[in-house]
Chains A and B, each alone.
Chain A
């Protein structure tokens, strides 16, 4: 099963300074899940209202599909290197 990234690593290395940060994304997900549960009835209502306009499916599916994208971020890595300056963004 796919689950969202737990950590975001940011690394910046300049000529004199080195900065490395591990952001605990796992702290955000319980809050996001609570918000999603609270908003779920509203989204259902919105989907019902928008169904005649052909946008109901969009309202219903956008949440799960965006969650899928979020889960798929795990493993994404970007590394920029210029001379001795480095920028690293990595989802773990």
Chain B
């Protein structure tokens, strides 16, 4: 059961929403077979390539902030990487400069699809949990 579903049931238990409303909300959060939130069996198989990059932001209950659940296909990131081939030379230099100002020493002209595949392979075991302030951020691949 996802956090969203738990929150809806909590709201129902607190009688803040009606049964009908809870049913409607639950139907919207119901995970499809291929789009559901992560369960214990969603971890990529050893050696299997991760297909999605997930970012979940869960606020503290009652904080009034919104929870965010984003699923980005790895193919979209790959396609984005290929778009770097379209960046003209002078623009690459400006991008590099902007990245350096942010403390990232990276030359976008050196980014190659092979590097990305290596990065994706390394991401398989990635799981980041950040809890700060009134929200919890969970980043993982599946």
Q: How far is the CA of A89 from the CA of B71 in the complex (A)?
A: 10
Indicate if A36 sits at the interface (CB-CB under 8 A).
no
Indicate if A42 sits at the interface (CB-CB under 8 A).
no
Q: Is the CB of B79 within 8 A of A76?
A: no
A residues less than 8 Å from B19 (CB atoms): none
Number of interface residues of B (CB under 8 A): 36
Chain B residue, CB-CB nearest to A86: B28
Contact among A18, A58, A77 for B88, CB-based, below 8 A: A58
CB distance from A7 to the nearest CB of B (A): 12
Tell me which residues from 42 to 92 in chain A have a Cβ below 8 Å from any Cβ of chain B.
54-55, 57-58, 61-62, 65, 68-69, 71-84, 86, 88, 90
Q: How far is the CA of A79 from the CA of B70 in the complex (A)?
A: 6
Indicate if A23 sits at the interface (CB-CB under 8 A).
no
Q: Is the CB of A18 within 8 A of B28?
A: yes
Tell me which residues from 58 to 87 in chain B have a Cβ below 8 Å from any Cβ of chain A.
64-73, 75-76, 78-80, 82-83, 85-86
Number of interface residues of A (CB under 8 A): 32
Q: Is the CB of A11 within 8 A of B51?
A: no
Q: How far is the CA of A82 from the CA of B7 in the complex (A)?
A: 10
CB distance from B92 to the nearest CB of A (A): 13
Q: Is the CB of B68 within 8 A of A11?
A: no
Tell me which residues from 1 to 18 in chain B have a Cβ below 8 Å from any Cβ of chain A.
4, 7-8, 11, 16-17
Contact among A54, A57, A61, A76 for B71, CB-based, below 8 A: A76
Q: Is the CB of A84 within 8 A of B21?
A: yes
B residues less than 8 Å from A65 (CB atoms): 79, 82-83, 85-86
Q: Is the CB of A72 within 8 A of B75?
A: yes
Contact among A13, A57, A68 for B25, CB-based, below 8 A: A13
Residue contacts A-B, CB under 8 angstroms, 24 given: A13-B28, A54-B88, A61-B85, A62-B86, A65-B83, A65-B86, A69-B76, A72-B73, A72-B75, A72-B78, A74-B73, A76-B71, A76-B72, A78-B71, A79-B69, A80-B66, A81-B29, A81-B66, A81-B68, A82-B64, A84-B16, A84-B17, A84-B25, A86-B28
- Taking beta carbons and an 8 Å cutoff, which residues of B are in contact with A? 4, 7-8, 11, 16-17, 21, 24-25, 28-29, 34-35, 51-52, 64-73, 75-76, 78-80, 82-83, 85-86, 88-89
